[in-house]
Copies of this chain bind each other. A is one copy, B any other.
Amino acid sequence: MKPTIRDVARMAEVSISTVSRVMNAPETVVPSKRNRVIEAIKELKYQPNAFARGLIYKKSNTLGLLIPDIENLYFAGVIRGMQDACIKLGYSLMICNTDRDMERTLSYIDTFHEKQVDGIVFASDMLYPEYYEKLTGFRIPFVLVSSHSDEYEVPSVEVDDELAAYDAVKFLIELGHKEIGMIGFNHDNSVSGPPRAAGFVRALTEFGLERNTGRIKYANHRFEHAYQAAHELFSEYPELSAVFCVADEFAMGTISYLKDRNILVPGQVSVIGFDNLRMSGMFIPKLTTIAQPIYQLGYRAAEKLHELLTTGNVAVMKEQMEHKLIVRESSREK
């Protein structure tokens, strides 16, 4: 049986109140007893029961994290950042992989509520009304990471997707490319899809390359879909000399396709990605990409949630972090 505070009290020959005090306000108990208690705790390997504490404090010191796809390296980075922040702030972390499935997500929210997580970080997926209603119905505080909400007032941390995409495409244009395509996220279930497409269009327009704005194919988060999308893109526009991919995984898919077609990257076609995954520097060729501060995004999201939890509010509702262009080997001057 797990030892309880009673067992410690009995062994140290004091009352349970004294034991509790030794743990929570040691200076209020005389050293002789205090030491006896400490001894007993060590001896019994006593650890207070989190259920009993939770009942009193009405807090679990646990945060929930909802992730669409844990096999996506992007989220692995977010998790790491968030977990480090949690250690600093004294939270445990409960991670759930939703697979972008609504039913599953809803059920995880139920679980989080039942387990009394103090708050939730909701990553990257669309904040559907169903989620919002449930979360607010349960009065669970939450923040969005790599996402935001136009409809609701929800704190969020992300990158400026429109500007980042603009920078990527501008880079391609300044390299001398005039025939540029894009592999984007499907708009209907993606929050970063539309702004990245907007950045693509804005850059083209500003530089008088409007004729490219329709050269977009969409893919569904994974390599294979991007491979397929690249196939469609190049079948339709074989003249392309550069492609903007809204995710590094898409860039890899695109390059794979090009490789299978014996088209050289960056010799014949330049490809720029987005995210700067850990893998991106390992790929052959190493990916030119827009780096997101992935780790920091996760770290900051946890801090923001903590702020919300402790002060009941956040200083700035929609927060944006800096992106950065990283030039490696998958792009070249035209």
A62 to B253, CA, bound (A): 38
A96: which B residues are within 8 A, CB to CB? 83, 93
B71 touches A92 (CB 8 A): no
Task: Name the prevailing secondary structure of the A interface residues.
Answer: helix
Closest B residue to A249 by beta carbon equals: B282
A93 touches B92 (CB 8 A): no
A71 touches B62 (CB 8 A): no
A123 on the B face (CB < 8 A): no
A256 touches B278 (CB 8 A): no
A95: which B residues are within 8 A, CB to CB? 79, 93-95
A139: which B residues are within 8 A, CB to CB? 2
Identify the stretch in A46-54, A175-183, A303-311 within 8 Å (CB) of chain B at 4 or more residues. Answer: A46-54
A51 touches B48 (CB 8 A): no
A52: which B residues are within 8 A, CB to CB? 51, 55
Question: What distance in Å separates the Cβ of A281 from its nearest Cβ neighbour in chain B?
Answer: 8
B47 touches A55 (CB 8 A): no
A62: which B residues are within 8 A, CB to CB? 115
B94 touches A45 (CB 8 A): no
A14 on the B face (CB < 8 A): no
* Interface hub of A77, A93, A111 (most chain B Cβ within 10 A): A111
Beyond known contacts A52-B55, A79-B95, A259-B284: 5 more, CB 8 A cutoff: A45-B137, A50-B116, A70-B83, A71-B76, A93-B96
A283 on the B face (CB < 8 A): yes
Q: Mask for A243-282, Cβ within 8 A of B = 1, else 0?
A: 0000001001101100100000000000000000011011
A252: which B residues are within 8 A, CB to CB? 282
Of residues 85 to 127 in A, which have CB atoms within 8 Å of B's CB atoms?
Answer: 87, 92-97, 104, 110-111, 113-116
B114 touches A97 (CB 8 A): no
A207 on the B face (CB < 8 A): no
B113 touches A282 (CB 8 A): no
A80 touches B71 (CB 8 A): yes
Task: In the A-B complex, list the 6 residue pairs whose CB atoms are closest, starting with the nearest.
Answer: A51-B54, A51-B55, A71-B76, A51-B51, A95-B95, A50-B114
A48 touches B114 (CB 8 A): yes
